[in-house]
């Protein structure tokens, strides 16, 4: 499963399209965000992807968690959204 890495400058629509494609292919995906702006774009992308997939009878469920990661030798805390789907 690929991890979609989102920044505060990421387009919510682009992330939503990538998320919807990942859900269609694998029925699950993960989004990783560091910082308030990135988390904001991630949440918007999840909401948009729900709209993209609703007409096909697919709904999304998300479970946020904290993840300690290392960037350039520095420990950072990321928010990771695990997204799964179900046919309704």
Domain chopping of the chain, boundaries = 3-87
Report the topology of domain 3-87: Translation Initiation Factor IF3 (3.30.110)
d(CA 25, CA 22): 5
Per-residue pLDDT band for 1 (boundaries 50, 70, 90) equals confident
Its pTM stands at 0.94
Residue 13 DSSP code = H
Higher pLDDT, residue 30 or 2: 30
pLDDT tens-digit profile of 9-40? 999 999 999 999 999 999 999 999 999 999 99
- Mean pLDDT, residues 66-88 taken together: 95
What are the beta bridge partners of residue 2? none
Both tokens of 30, joined, read 């993960």
With tokens 């387009």, the residue in question is 11
pLDDT tens-digit profile of 33-71? 999 999 999 999 999 999 999 999 999 999 999 999 999
């Amino acid at each position: 499963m690929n991890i979609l890495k989102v920044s505060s400058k990421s387009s919510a629509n682009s992330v939503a399209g990538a998320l919807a494609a990942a859900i269609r292919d694998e029925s699950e995906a993960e989004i990783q965000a560091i910082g308030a702006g990135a988390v904001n774009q991630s949440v918007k992308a999840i909401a948009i992807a729900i709209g993209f997939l609703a007409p096909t009878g697919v709904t999304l469920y998300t479970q946020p968690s904290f993840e300690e990661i290392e960037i350039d030798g520095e420990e950072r805390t990321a928010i990771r959204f695990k997204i799964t789907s179900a046919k309704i």
